[in-house]
Amino acid sequence: MDVYGLIGNPVTHSRSPPMHEAAYDARDITARYVTFEPSKDAVEAAIDGAAALDIKGLNVTIPFKQAVMEYIDPDPLAGRIGAVNTIDFETEPPTGYNTDIDGVQRAFDHHDIELNGTEAVVIGAGGVARAAAFALSDAGASIHIANRTEPKATQLAQAVPGATAGGLQTRDRVESADILINATSVGMESTETPVPQTHLHPNLVVFDAVYTPVETTLLQQAEAAGATTIDGAWMLLFQGVTAFEHWTGEAAPVEVMNAALRETLWDRLRG
């Protein structure tokens, strides 16, 4: 039996296992997907341990997306973004990919949102923000990054062609923007929002990377303002689809994975 999984800290919120195991069943692959929570200073030991245990692949989440790059060989896209969320242990050394960028791009594509020529505000400067900023920039959007720690926003903006940066006070750019992406954990398991409701407007597309709950307060307020909304489960789905295809070499059963993911997210809400 092949083993795949997720490393992060914490990982109790993850809804990836049912999605991936549904895909294995659909493709008749004998495999399991499990979660691992190493201490925040043990990323090297986690990668070495996974290789020693013949784990075939790992997804990577907070806080390890940048730290793992020192211990694997990132492909050119992951190297350019500066973050890895998928590792393939079938190569030596293990290869790191960034499938979050696919998650962002395909989420917008799925909702028929044209990004070229738009103005976007990204809230946050971590691993998800990096993928989102590069995805939008590559699609022809203009990017502004607003983050609580302004130097981190500036550092990210310097890596993304044409991007600008500022502190959280620059969130007011949302009022004239076409796209808003929440790439922070604000709103996860809470009613907090990363952007004041007064900044939201009907011509805005709001994409919230948070997926627990699926309908965050930000998305509820955006819908009330007449904006188009995209929940974070779409990004989770499509980054998982690309990871599955890297690991197995097979086409992912997208509808099966989406159904399994949505079921577990709504079951959790009902529970």
Q: Where are the domains of the chain?
A: 2-98+234-270, 102-230
User: Which structure tokens are listed for 211?
Assistant: 């997926």
pLDDT band at 267 (very low <50, low <70, confident <90, very high): low
Residue 82: name the closest of 61, 103, 102, 96 by CA.
Answer: 96
Q: How far apart are CA 111 and CA 113, in angstroms?
A: 6
For the chain, where are the alpha helices, taking DSSP H only?
A: 16-26, 43-52, 76-81, 100-110, 127-138, 150-159, 217-224, 232-248, 254-270
pLDDT of residue 271: 45
Fold for the domain defined by 102-230: Rossmann fold (3.40.50)
Mean pLDDT of 240-251: 97
Instruction: Reply yes or no on whether 56 is catalytic.
Output: no
For 62-160, where are the alpha helices, taking DSSP H only?
A: 76-81, 100-110, 127-138, 150-159
The model's pTM: 0.94
Peptide bond into 10 cis (omega under 30): yes
pLDDT at 237 over 60: yes
Q: Which of 40, 56, 65, 152 is catalytic?
A: 65
In degrees and rounded to multiples of 5, residue 193 shows phi and psi of -130, 150
pLDDT of residue 266: 75
Do residues 19 and 265 make contact, with C-beta atoms less than 8 angstroms apart? no
To which CATH superfamily is domain 2-98+234-270 assigned? Leucine Dehydrogenase, chain A, domain 1 (3.40.50.10860)
pLDDT at 212 over 80: yes
pLDDT band at 268 (very low <50, low <70, confident <90, very high): low
Q: How many CB atoms lie within 10 A of CB 85?
A: 30
CA 242, chain centre distance (Å) = 12
